[in-house]
Amino acid sequence: MPKRPRTPIDAYFEGGYWLILWDFLYGGVILLLVLGLGWSAGMRNVAERLTRVKPLQTMVYWIEFTILTTVLGFPLAVYEGYFREHQYGLATQTFGPWMFDQFKALLVSVIAGAIVVSLLFGIVRRLPRTWWIWGSLATVLLLSFGALIAPVYLVPIFNKVTRLDDPKVTVPILRMARANGIPVKDVFEIDASKQSTRMSANVSGLGSTMRITLNDNLLRRGSAEEIQAVMGHEMGHYVLNHVYKGILEFLVIIVVWFAGLQWSLEWALRRWGQKWKIRGIGDTGVLPLVFLVTSLFFFVLTPVMNTLTRTQEYEADMYGLNASRLPDGFAQAAIHLGEYRKMSPGPVEEWIFYDHPSGHNRIFAAMQWKAENLSLFAAPRAGTPAMAAPAPPPRR
Ligand SMILES: [Zn+2]
Please, which residues have CB less than 5 A from ligand 1, an ion?
Answer: 313, 316
| pLDDT tens per residue across span 166-180 | 999 999 999 999 999
Q: How far apart are the CA of 213 and the centre of ligand 1, in A?
A: 12
Q: How far apart are the CA of 246 and the centre of ligand 1, in A?
A: 12
| Distance, CA of 301 to CA of 249 (rounded, Å) | 13
Helix H, strand E, coil C: the string for the chain is: CCCCCCCHHHHHHHHHHHHHHHHHHHHHHHHHHHHHCCHHHHHHHHHHHHCCCHHHHHHHHHHHHHHHHHHHHHHHHHHHHHHHHHHCCCECCCHHHHHHHHHHHHHHHHHHHHHHHHHHHHHHHHCCCCHHHHHHHHHHHHHHHHHHHHHHHHHHHHCCEEECCCHHHHHHHHHHHHHCCCCCCCCEEECHHHCECCCCEEEECCHHHCEEEEEHHHHHHCCHHHHHHHHHHHHHHHHCCHHHHHHHHHHHHHHHHHHHHHHHHHHHHHHHHHHHCCCCCCCHHHHHHHHHHHHHHHHHCHHHHHHHHHHHHHHHHHHHHHHHCCHHHHHHHHHHHCCCCCCCCCHHHHHHHCCCCCHHHHHHHHHHHHHHCHHHHCCCCCCCCCCCCCCCCCCC
| pLDDT tens per residue across span 105-156 | 999 999 999 999 999 999 999 999 999 999 999 999 999 999 999 999 999 9
pTM across the whole model? 0.88
Q: What is the pLDDT of residue 383?
A: 55
Pairing, β 188-190 against β 201-204: unpaired
Calculate the average pLDDT of the chain.
Answer: 93
Q: How far apart are the CA of 263 and the centre of ligand 1, in A?
A: 36
Q: How far apart are the CA of 37 and the centre of ligand 1, in A?
A: 44
pLDDT band at residue 184, thresholds of 50, 70 and 90?
confident
Q: How far apart are the CA of 100 and the centre of ligand 1, in A?
A: 29
Q: How far apart are the CA of 17 and the centre of ligand 1, in A?
A: 21
| pLDDT tens per residue across span 349-386 | 999 999 999 999 999 999 999 999 988 876 655 555 54
Q: What is the pLDDT of residue 395?
A: 52
| pLDDT tens per residue across span 299-326 | 999 999 999 999 999 999 999 999 999 9
Q: How far apart are the CA of 225 and the centre of ligand 1, in A?
A: 17
